[in-house]
A = this chain, B = another copy of it.
Amino acid sequence: MLQLTKRTEYGLIALVHLVDRRDEFVSAREIGDAYHVPRRLLAEVLKELCRADLLLSQRGANGGYSLAREPENLTLAEAVQILEATPSAKDGSTCETSAWSSCDLISTCPIKTPIERLRAGIWGLLNQTTLRDLATPAPVNPLGELIESAQASSLSARLS
């Protein structure tokens, strides 16, 4: 099931924040304070991202988190897949068979139900968009174009 939850929101905020601080370890406290996000919950999300090897962690004083990869080759698909994962579905085996994993979605890809096509489309968007795209305000990325079109069509929709 596609869900963009607070966990995802906090996780993406943190990831974007870390883009500007490469080769540095940033604490959960700092990020939480910067965006007025519940510190403890954010910490929990960061731990998840760390377990999934999207982040590196440094324990102890002056510790914190840092991107484990260049923002250019970290797709939102990866991040969202981790952030939206149900805590119950963390056993690795059922993780891959969930409705949201790319594999079963694609393996049955003469797609049947409409919602599966829609999910696949959104998945494609997430796969095309990197953390760099998300962090860059310029509209020269997949997200940018789709945001443009959202603007246009919503404007016409307001007139109906």
Q: Give the interface of A toward B (CB within 8 A).
A: 1-5, 8-9, 12-13, 15-16, 35, 75-78, 102-103, 105-106, 109, 111, 113-115, 117-125, 127-129, 134-135, 142-143, 145-155, 157-158
Closest B residue to A12 by beta carbon equals B114
A102 closest partner in B (C-beta): B154
Pick the contact of A123 from B13, B76, B150 — CB < 8 Å?
B150
A123 and B145 alpha carbons, distance in the complex (Å): 11
B127 pairs with A153, CB closer than 8 A: yes
A106 to B109, CA, bound (A): 33
The answer to whether A117 touches B147 (Cβ under 8 A) is: yes
Chain B residues with CB under 8 A of A12? 113-115, 118
Main secondary structure of the interface of A (DSSP, over half): helix
Q: A1-B5, A9-B115, A113-B13 are in contact. Are A154 and B127 (CB under 8 A)?
A: yes
Is A4 touching B102 in the complex (CB atoms < 8 A)? no
Are the CB atoms of A122 and B124 closer together than 8 Å? no
Report the nearest B residue to A76, measured CB to CB.
B118
Q: A1-B5, A4-B115, A106-B155 are in contact. Are A125 and B121 (CB under 8 A)?
A: yes
Look across to chain B and name the residue whose beta carbon is closest to the beta carbon of A152: B127
Question: Are A77 and B118 interface neighbours, CB within 8 A?
Answer: no
Which residues of the partner chain B approach A121 to less than 8 Å between Cβ atoms?
125, 129, 142-143, 146-147, 150
B146 touches A120 (CB 8 A): yes
Are A151 and B109 CB-contacts (below 8 A) given A124-B146, A129-B121, A134-B117?
Answer: yes
